[in-house]
Structure 1
């Protein structure tokens, strides 16, 4: 598997796909409105970057936002699914009772930087790009994402830089999230954000 899209299995992380081996990207906005993230993902260049990295499916949760994917899906796409650039299968939904099944099936998670979604992805050993929603929580999402990225547990980016992040990311550089007692990671995050 190419190093640009691989997390080592020996580190306890899910391996991302290589060269058409299949792989799913899950985008989640949680229970909030985060149209900026959905718009950033709804881009043919993003689809091409994902397909070039070996991903074959993109699943987008749009949540309570108003924006619906319209650039990746052709006008004749049946309902909420279709094919995008590079043969990437694309689908979207608003909410599900639980994202656990979708999270388990994902090889890469692109998530708003809310603590619940971020830690769910990390605990499931998923490669993660955390995208802070600057409109929420007095920018605590940026602090959390920055601290975790500083520990190499994820990448972080604002929505407008998502494409560049996808193009340059090397998932093999990510460190596994420590399982078990969360006290050590809480202390490290506190240290990094100056608490």
Structure 2
């Protein structure tokens, strides 16, 4: 069975050409079946030659693409990662780096490291290693995401009741 791949690069005004080029090369070599890849490329100005993409997706389109995917490749944004793991997707997170003009600082390195430490995702610290990350994610079982929102609400309720 081929794994459907959805790439989502967020909506902040930063390019992530490095990641798109790496996926494009894998498709060109035939390592990844281009038919199985769809990307929301955001503000990237590199336009993929070998797989389908759209700059931005509306909520329904995003939900549809996420639903079709087995694997989600994303930048190191908290919302993107949590959104995918909540839906039970295998996630490869590639942190944006300031030195490539992909973000203002390297906070995504720490965020991705935290999610990896929780055994929720596959960390890919270098876009050049995305092929290896794809092989890893296919044969790895990750922990299920458990939200602690209800726990927080309960503790606030208890606090208020005791006032």
With the shorter chain as reference, the TM-score category is: 0.7 to 0.9
Q: Number of aligned pairs?
A: 143
In structure 1, the partner of 2:140 is 172
In structure 1, the partner of 2:89 is 126
Change (3 A) 1:103 1:147: same
Structure 1 length normalisation: TM-score?
Answer: 0.65
Q: Deviations over 1:95-120 (max 9, x none)?
A: 11122221122110000111111111
Residue of structure 1 aligned with 2:6, choices 7, 20, 26 = 26
Q: How do 1:10-89 residues align onto structure 2 when only pairs under 5 Å count? A: 21-31=1-11, 32-44=14-26, 48-51=30-33, 57-70=36-49, 72=50
Cα deviation for residue 170 of structure 1 reads: 4.5
Structure 2 length normalisation: TM-score?
Answer: 0.76
For structure 2, the residue ranges without an aligned partner over 5 or more in a row are 153-163
Residue of structure 2 aligned with 1:91, choices 21, 30, 52 = 52
Query: 1: CA distance between counterparts of 2:8 and 2:150?
Result: 23
In structure 2, the partner of 1:149 is 116
Out of 140-149 and 168-177, give the one that drifted further.
168-177
Structure showing greater radius of gyration is 2
In structure 2, the partner of 1:160 is 128
In structure 1, the partner of 2:155 is none
Q: Deviations over 1:23-75 (max 9, x none)?
A: 41001111131111111111136863444xxx9511022211110112x2xxx
